[in-house]
């Protein structure tokens, strides 16, 4: 008797392909095989999810029933969801699948037309975008020639990056300088200060000074967002660095990744960009502690009972917080909190997490004269030009080891690329011994100094660079002592 069976651990969406494939074949003018049909999805022990298999299953049925020629099929990798009338619909996660197929030796990709922008910049592959099943069958039967997509040249885009300009932020010159250093070297930064001092505003102005994307970085980021289903609107290659700002009620699975159907979390969606936590102590303790390993390694391993997934998570961590529950501790305003309340509030931020933050910046109350000042302020474009120059120096320096910025260096690489002069070495030794810095803080201090030197286009790291880096490591001694 005629039947249709799918084996190979299919989920509900894969099983439902039976009706989509049957209707699409009939509505495309072909005969649906009235036989016992078995669709085998290998490997059989790996769960199959999504609608990406529809077009390949339909093509396989037509080839097996000899309604289309199969000469070209051995060269093709076919992706796409089918609608009931035979239209080819877009799918999520296409970019990483295409890249993986290319690495496995295939270079002819059949894709949905709406997914074409996602992979139009990749050279070395032939891409055939389709709107309908009949277009593919016509090509397979050699009735028409395939209309291959022509690769385009990719350029970074800064459209929509500047929501708040640096020129709109009055005062807080020290914090602006720290934010410029953080952007240039992709360093983690903590802004701490009383309410209304401009912490959130400064963080939201950060996207305007972030360095340009390289093509390799854009490709990495777009693969993650494609797999997470975040390219629903344009489906184009992402041209600006991600800026993710989750609410403090977000769960651990939402931040780190996972869930019923394992998907990238906020830290992976912020890869090569910024993850901003506003009101840092309000986040759940388990969420904050889960950040420690990704901040150190740049990847996150999500393990479940039946699967283990490794997601990239190399992001710049930016956080802001008040010094106490009322926000006035350490300022001119009277603090209403007891010592116990302050200690309990600050204890929400553990020492190991704080140790992984490169720059600690204290932001005080803005003077009235600064608020009323009409003098010219540096714009985000001017700051971004210096950041781009510094990042270009880093890209050139680390070209042979595949690194993008100073924050990515490992301890052996720090010794190789971060040379200190004698005065800088003496000052660093003094700071390490008197401030009781950890080995991690020592390494991160050198990296911050390396970025400061790059902003000044200096090859050696001098005592002045070390001195400026040291002043950004004092808050953990002031508030957490």
Segment 270-289, tens digit of pLDDT:
999 999 999 999 999 999 99
pLDDT level of residue 477 (50, 70, 90 thresholds)? low
Q: Which fold has domain 166-398?
A: Rossmann fold (3.40.50)
Q: What is the pLDDT of residue 456?
A: 94
> What is the average pLDDT score of the chain?
89
- 323, HSE (Cβ side, Cα atoms, 13 Å): 27
pLDDT level of residue 159 (50, 70, 90 thresholds)? low
Ranges in the chain annotated CATH 3.30.230.10: 3-140
Two structure tokens written together for 325: 């529950």
Q: In whole angstroms, give the CA distance from residue 425 to residue 411.
A: 16
CA dihedral angle for residue 393, residue 394, residue 395, residue 399, rounded to 10 degrees: 110
Q: What is the pLDDT of residue 130?
A: 95
Nearest partner of 24 among 147, 149, 130, judged by Cα: 130
The pLDDT of residue 374 is above 70: no
Q: In whole angstroms, give the CA distance from residue 149 to residue 346.
A: 56
pLDDT in tens, 79-119: 999 999 999 999 998 999 999 999 999 999 999 999 998 88
Q: How far apart are the first and last CA of the chain?
A: 78
Q: What is the pLDDT of residue 407?
A: 93
Q: What is the pLDDT of residue 302?
A: 84
Q: What is the mean predicted confidence (pLDDT) over 375-396?
A: 90
pLDDT in tens, 230-280: 876 667 888 888 999 999 999 998 999 887 777 899 999 999 999 999 999
Ranges in the chain annotated CATH 3.40.50.300: 166-398
Q: What is the mean predicted confidence (pLDDT) over 396-420?
A: 91
More confident residue, 131 or 159: 131
Q: Name 129's bridge partners.
A: 111
How many CB atoms lie under 10 A from the CB of residue 435?
Answer: 15
Q: What is the pLDDT of residue 467?
A: 94
More confident residue, 163 or 19: 19
Q: What is the mean predicted confidence (pLDDT) over 400-426?
A: 91
Q: What is the mean predicted confidence (pLDDT) over 290-304?
A: 88
- Return the SS3 of 383: helix
Q: Which fold has domain 3-140?
A: Ribosomal Protein S5; domain 2 (3.30.230)
Q: What is the pLDDT of residue 331?
A: 75
Q: What is the pLDDT of residue 479?
A: 55
């Amino acid at each position: 008797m005629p039947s249709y069976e799918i084996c190979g651990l299919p989920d509900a969406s894969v099983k439902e392909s039976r009706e989509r494939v049957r209707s699409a074949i009939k509505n495309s003018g072909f005969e649906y095989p009235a036989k016992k049909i078995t669709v085998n999805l290998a490997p059989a022990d790996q769960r199959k999810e999504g609608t990406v298999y529809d077009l390949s299953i339909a093509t396989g049925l037509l080839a097996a029933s000899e309604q289309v020629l199969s000469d070209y099929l051995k060269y093709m990798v076919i992706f796409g969801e089918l609608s009931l009338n035979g239209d080819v619909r877009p799918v999520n996660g296409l970019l990483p699948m295409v890249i993986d197929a290319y690495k496995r030796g295939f270079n002819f990709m059949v894709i949905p037309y709406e997914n074409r922008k996602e992979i139009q910049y990749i050279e070395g592959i032939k891409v055939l975008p389709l709107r309908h099943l009949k277009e593919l069958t016509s090509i397979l039967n050699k009735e028409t020639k395939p209309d291959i997509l022509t690769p385009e040249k990719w350029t970074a885009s800064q459209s929509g990056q500047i929501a708040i300009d640096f020129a709109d932020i009055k005062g807080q010159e020290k914090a602006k300088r720290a934010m410029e250093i953080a952007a240039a070297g992709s360093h983690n930064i903590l802004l701490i200060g009383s309410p209304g001092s401009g912490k959130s505003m400064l963080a939201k102005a950060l996207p305007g000074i972030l360095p340009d994307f390289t093509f390799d970085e854009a490709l990495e980021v777009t693969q993650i967002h494609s797999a997470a289903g975040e390219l629903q609107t344009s489906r184009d290659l992402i041209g600006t660095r991600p800026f993710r700002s989750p609410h403090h009620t977000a769960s651990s699975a939402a931040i780190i990744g996972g869930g019923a159907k394992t998907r990238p979390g906020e830290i992976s969606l912020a890869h090569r960009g910024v993850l901003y936590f506003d009101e840092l102590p309000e986040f759940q303790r388990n969420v904050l502690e889960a950040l420690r390993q990704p901040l150190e390694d740049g990847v996150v391993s999500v393990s479940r009972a039946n699967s283990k997934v490794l997601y990239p998570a190399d992001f710049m961590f930016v956080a802001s917080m008040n010094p106490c529950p009322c926000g006035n501790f350490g300022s001119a305003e009277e603090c209403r909190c007891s010592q116990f309340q302050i200690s309990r509030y600050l204890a929400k931020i553990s020492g190991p997490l704080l140790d992984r933050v490169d720059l600690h910046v204290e932001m005080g109350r803005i003077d009235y004269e600064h608020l009323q000042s009409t003098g010219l302020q540096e714009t985000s474009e001017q700051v971004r030009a210096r950041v781009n120059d510094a990042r270009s120096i880093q890209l050139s320096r680390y070209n042979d080891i595949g690194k993008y910025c100073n924050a990515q260096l490992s301890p052996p690489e720090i010794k190789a690329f971060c040379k200190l002069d004698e005065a800088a070495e003496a000052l660093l030794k003094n700071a390490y011994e008197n401030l009781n810095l950890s080995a991690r803080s020592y390494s991160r201090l050198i990296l911050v100094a390396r970025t400061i030197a790059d902003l000044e286009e200096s090859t050696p790291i001098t005592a002045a660079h070390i001195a400026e880096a040291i002043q950004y490591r004092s808050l953990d001694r002031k508030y957490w002592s």
